[in-house]
Structure 1
Amino acid sequence: MTDEVEFRLGLIGDGIGRSSAPRLHELAGRIAGHSVSYVRFDLDGRQDTTFEDTLARCAADGLAGVNVTHPYKEKAARLVPIQDLRVQRIGAINTVLFREGRAVSGHNTDHSGFVAAYRRKMIDARPGSVALIGAGGVGRPIAVGLGELGAEEIRVYDIDAARATRLASDLTTDAVPVRACVDIAEALDGCAGVVNATPIGMYRYPGNPVPDAIMGKPRWVFDAVYTPRDTEFIIEAGKRGAEVISGYELFFHQGVDAFRLFTGLSVDEAALRAALEQPDG
Structure 2
Amino acid sequence: MQLVQSIGSDIGKQRSTTLARSVLVGLIGGNIQQSRTPRMHEVEGARLGLRYSYQLVDVAVPRDTPLDIGQIVSAAALFGFAGLNVTYPYKQAIMPHLDVIDEGAARVGAVNTVVFSQGKTFGYNTDLWGFAQGFRLEMAQAPVNRVLQLGAGGAGSAVANALVECGVHELVIADLDTARARNLAERLTSGSARVSALPLDQIAAIKFDGIVNTTPMGMDKNPGMPIDPAMLNPSVWVADIVYFPLETALLASARARGCRTLSGAAMAVFQAVKAFELFTGIAADADAMRATFNAFETTKPWTETAD
TM-score normalized by structure 2?
Answer: 0.80
Q: Which of 22, 25, 33 is residue 6 of structure 1 equivalent to?
A: 22
Give me the whole-angstrom Cα distance separating, in 1, the residues matched to 2:19 and 2:151.
Answer: 43
The equivalences for 1:6-155 within 5 A come to 6-44=22-60, 48-99=66-117, 104-155=121-172
Give me the whole-angstrom Cα distance separating, in 2, the residues matched to 1:43 and 1:133.
Answer: 29
Gaps of 5+ in 2: 1-15, 301-307
Shift of 1:257: 0.6
Q: Which has more radius of gyration?
A: 2
List per-residue Cα deviations over 1:145-184 (Å, max 9, x = no partner): 1112111211112223332121111112362111111225
Q: Contact (CA 8 Å) 2:173, 2:196: kept in 1 or not?
A: yes
1:261 aligned onto 2:302: no
SS at match of 2:245: coil
- Cα distance change on mapping 1:91 and 1:257 into 2, 3 Å: same
SS at match of 1:17: coil
Q: Which of 249, 253, 258 is residue 266 of structure 2 equivalent to?
A: 249
List per-residue Cα deviations over 1:52-82 (Å, max 9, x = no partner): 4444433333321111123432333344344
- Cα distance change on mapping 1:81 and 1:238 into 2, 3 Å: farther
- Cα distance change on mapping 1:11 and 1:152 into 2, 3 Å: same
- Cα distance change on mapping 1:46 and 1:192 into 2, 3 Å: farther
Task: Name the amino acid aligned to 2:216.
Answer: P
Identity of aligned residues (%): 36
Q: Contact (CA 8 Å) 2:104, 2:125: kept in 1 or not?
A: no
Give me the whole-angstrom Cα distance separating, in 2, the residues matched to 1:91 and 1:175.
Answer: 19
- Aligned match of 1:229: 246
Q: Contact (CA 8 Å) 1:126, 1:150: kept in 2 or not?
A: no
Q: Contact (CA 8 Å) 1:196, 1:222: kept in 2 or not?
A: yes
SS at match of 1:75: coil
Number of residues of Structure 1 aligned to a counterpart in Structure 2: 279
- Aligned match of 2:211: 194
Shift of 1:261: 0.1
Give me the whole-angstrom Cα distance separating, in 2, the residues matched to 1:188 and 1:91.
Answer: 31
SS at match of 1:73: coil
Give me the whole-angstrom Cα distance separating, in 1, the residues matched to 2:285 and 2:58.
Answer: 29
Q: Which of 160, 171, 187 is residue 177 of structure 2 equivalent to?
A: 160
Gaps of 5+ in 1: none
Shift of 1:103: 5.9
- Aligned match of 2:195: 178
Which sits farther off after the overlay, 165-174 or 80-89?
Answer: 80-89
